[in-house]
A and B are shown apart, each in its own frame.
Chain A
Amino acid sequence: MQMAAAMAPSGQVTDEVLIDIDRVTQVYASAGGAVRALDRVSMQARRGEFISIVGPSGCGKSTLMMIAAGLLPASDGTVRVGGRVVDRPQTDLGIVFQSPVLLEWRTALENVMLQAEARRLPAADAERRARSLLAAVGLAGFEHKYPHELSGGMRQRVSICRALVHTPPQLLMDEPFGALDALTRDQLVLDLQELWQSERMTVLFVTHSIAEAVFLSDRIIVMTPRPGRIAREIVVDLPRPRTLAMRDSAVFHAVSREITDFFLEQGVLRERAAGLSR
């Protein structure tokens, strides 16, 4: 969305920087010597923006998200959210992990309500919102099912609702659809876009999937293999709401191509397996 700034008055993306990651470096001490995970990563996310972080396994993209959430202290550099330095776990956000992380002894609704209980939100309002979020992702009628009675996709939907029930300004997602089958992923990507359009939160979406990143994002941040650095920032100039048909558009192809070419260049992808002979 190149016209992001121009669109500000009508709602979605504003110029206001919400998340400011400034030269964040992460180094792990290990018996075999220090491991560099992130190398001076700087990026900003504007309020209401949908940003994907794409990179190969081990490039530190999940680490970056943990640092942004304040769940992991950075070895060096700072993260500011709304101008305030993050030096402890942030609570002004929702998080979705690759696994749904539901409490097995709570129903779908009770799992979503855990967020409200932890924050001591008024129960009646929170429950109304929880129910409407569950309905929005197609889980009306499943409120009182336990996680083991739900499919993998449904569980992840519950976890997304839990991350949004307190209307946080930020949603951090760490490969949230990585464990799902292709059709379920497509549906969840569509659902997420719709939620984002009605909720207007800032999203940091960590993914392996180039297609998911292109489909969902205003901006894609492409990372190098370890130590993770930001290699490219690509603005996805496709109108909203995006449709599955847009995956065949020239813009979609151009962006996917750019990222794929970068990974080929970096040796993350190889078109000919080295040393394989018949």
Chain B
Amino acid sequence: MSTTNQHASGEESPDEHETALAAVEARVQAGLRKRTARARRAALGYPILVVVVIGLLWEYGTRAAGVPPFILPPPSLIAQSLAAHWGLLLNNGWATLVEILLGFGLSVVVGVPLAMALFLWPAFSRSVYPLLVSSQAVPKVAVAPLFVVWFGFGLLPKVLIAFLIAFFPIVINTAVGLESIEREKILLARSMGLSALDTFFKIRLPSALPTVFGGMKIAITLAVVGAVVGEFVGGEEGLGYVLLTANGSMDTPLLFAGVIALTVVGVALYLLVELAERLAIPHAALRQQARGGDTA
């Protein structure tokens, strides 16, 4: 240690000093690169490893224990079913996707303006908000048959159920986002003589965006549930309908294949909302900072 100190204090030339320092720098940087590479491999590798291990246990476990395929089919059978019913899943997946997107879209188009109205109009908020919250206590799944009675077996009841389930987190998150702005930002706007309208659109709404997107991410997963429930209750197409018919004919491998297809749809849509968030709020740091604002 003492020799290094002596070196630093002057026996070596500035050039030598710089070279020595650069060597240390290179070593530290290389360490960082190695650690990030390892972390990246682990992030991808470990989950794959876990899936493979579970898959193998499942495959040979069910065979060894003699579990009949209609109770728990081994993964190989599910994969065969996926391959065999590829077209069926694709067609019905498309139907479900349309229901989800319409339901989710409707919940955004209705939910965000409703939250704005709740915020801007206190009397409206006081009268509607309690109703809104208590309406959430109504189990939507239980209302679904009623929708079939009213709207038949077509697209509409599914879209409405998806909408009904998805729209609540959007309203609540938007309202919370609009409400929870730093007080100083509003004081500042007033001292600038910014109009109420400009304050809302230039300051309050953009401040709320991360929280609004938090609500949308919850909403999109709920919209999937809503659409499937709608198909369960009364439908002739969609992945929910596939699940139901597979269940009726004891085709458990197809049941699993349907669940996998639904999961793919759900994850893809979630990633799509995340992409929209990235486009609307370009800076990761800003998205991060609002994570705590997610409610519901």
A175 to B206, CA, bound (A): 27
- Asked if residues B286 and A104 are in contact (CB atoms below 8 Å), the reply is yes
| In the complex, B184 has a CB within 8 A of chain A | yes
Binds B, one of A6-14, A90-98, A226-234, A267-275: A90-98
Query: Complex Cα distance A99/B187, Å?
Result: 13
A99 to B184, CA, bound (A): 8
- Identify A118's interface contact among B187, B198, B289, CB under 8 A: B198
Say yes or no for B41: interface residue by CB 8 A criterion.
no
Residue B64 at the A interface, CB < 8 A?
no
A71 to B190, CA, bound (A): 8
State the CA gap A163–B190 with chains docked (Å). Answer: 13
Chain A facing B: main interface SS: loop
Q: Give the size of the chain A interface in residues (CB under 8 angstroms).
A: 22
Q: Would A119 and B192 be within 8 Å (CB), given that A103-B203, A148-B285 are in contact?
A: yes
Residue on B with the closest CB to A97?
B184
Q: What residues on A are CB-neighbors of B190 within 8 Å?
A: 71, 89
Closest to A88 in B: B190
B contact residues, range: 20 to 34
A101 proximal to B (CB < 8 A): yes
CB neighbours (8 Å) of A71 from chain B are 187, 190-191
The dominant DSSP class at the B interface is helix
Do B189 and A118 touch (CB < 8 A)? Answer: yes
Within 8 A of A (CB), among B199-226: 202-203, 206-207
Instruction: Verify if B193 is at the interface (C-beta below 8 Å from A).
Output: yes
Query: B190: shortest Cβ distance to chain A, in Å?
Result: 4
Q: Is the CB of A114 within 8 A of B202?
A: yes
Q: Is B126 an interface residue (CB 8 A)?
A: no
A105 at the interface (CB under 8 A from B): yes
Docked CA distance A105–B205 (Å): 12
Closest to A102 in B: B185
For B15, list chain A residues within 8 Å (CB): none
CB distance from B134 to the nearest CB of A (A): 29
Which chain A residue shows the least CB distance to B185?
A101
26 contacts across the A-B interface (CB closer than 8 A): A66-B187, A69-B187, A69-B191, A71-B187, A71-B190, A71-B191, A89-B193, A91-B192, A93-B191, A95-B187, A95-B188, A97-B187, A101-B188, A103-B206, A104-B283, A104-B289, A105-B283, A105-B286, A115-B192, A117-B202, A118-B194, A119-B192, A119-B193, A148-B283, A148-B286, A148-B289
